[in-house]
Amino acid sequence: MKNRKNLCAFFLLTAVACTAFVTVVLAHCDTMKGPIIPEAKASLEKGDITPILKWIKPECETEVKAAFSLAVKVRGKSPEAKELADKYFFETLIRLHRAGEGAPYTGLKDTPPEQIVLLADEALASGSADEMIKKMQSHLAAAIGEKFHKALQASKNKDKSVESGREYVEAYVQYMHYVEGIHTALMSTGSRHSEGTEGGTEHGEQAEHKD
Query: Has residue 106 been placed in a domain?
Result: no
Query: Has residue 196 been placed in a domain?
Result: yes
Please determine, for residue 18, whether its predicted confidence score (pLDDT) is greater than 60.
no
pLDDT digits (tens, 9 = 90+) for 54-71: 999 999 999 999 999 999
31, β-bridge pairs: 109
Instruction: Please indicate, yes or no, whether residues 83 and 126 belong to a single structural domain of this protein.
Output: no
Query: Has residue 51 been placed in a domain?
Result: yes
Domain that holds residue 16: 2-21+115-209
Q: CA dist 177 to 155, 166, 173, Å? A: 17, 16, 6
Query: Has residue 110 been placed in a domain?
Result: no
109, β-bridge pairs: 31
Angle between helices 162-188 and 130-155 in degrees, nearest 10: 150
How far is the C-alpha of 57 from the C-alpha of 22, rounded, in Å? 20
pLDDT digits (tens, 9 = 90+) for 124-176: 889 999 988 888 888 889 999 999 999 999 999 999 999 999 999 999 999 99
Instruction: Please indicate, yes or no, whether residues 92 and 68 belong to a single structural domain of this protein.
Output: yes
Signed CA dihedral, 60, 63, 66, 72: sign only? negative
Q: What is the DSSP string of 3-44?
A: HHHHHHHHHHHHHHHHHHTHHHHHHHTTBTTSSHHHHHHHHH
Instruction: Please indicate, yes or no, whether residues 6 and 38 belong to a single structural domain of this protein.
Output: no
Please determine, for residue 1, whether its predicted confidence score (pLDDT) is greater than 90.
no
Query: Has residue 187 been placed in a domain?
Result: yes
| Domains of the chain: total | 2
Instruction: Please indicate, yes or no, whether residues 14 and 83 belong to a single structural domain of this protein.
Output: no
Q: CA dist 136 to 18, 26, 52, Å? A: 9, 18, 30
Q: At 204, which helix (H) or strand (E)?
A: helix 201-209
Instruction: Please indicate, yes or no, whether residues 46 and 97 belong to a single structural domain of this protein.
Output: yes
Q: What's the pTM? A: 0.55
Query: Has residue 108 been placed in a domain?
Result: no
Instruction: Please indicate, yes or no, whether residues 200 and 122 belong to a single structural domain of this protein.
Output: yes
Q: CA dist 23 to 37, 100, 160, Å? A: 19, 15, 40
Query: Has residue 157 been placed in a domain?
Result: yes
Query: Has residue 49 been placed in a domain?
Result: yes
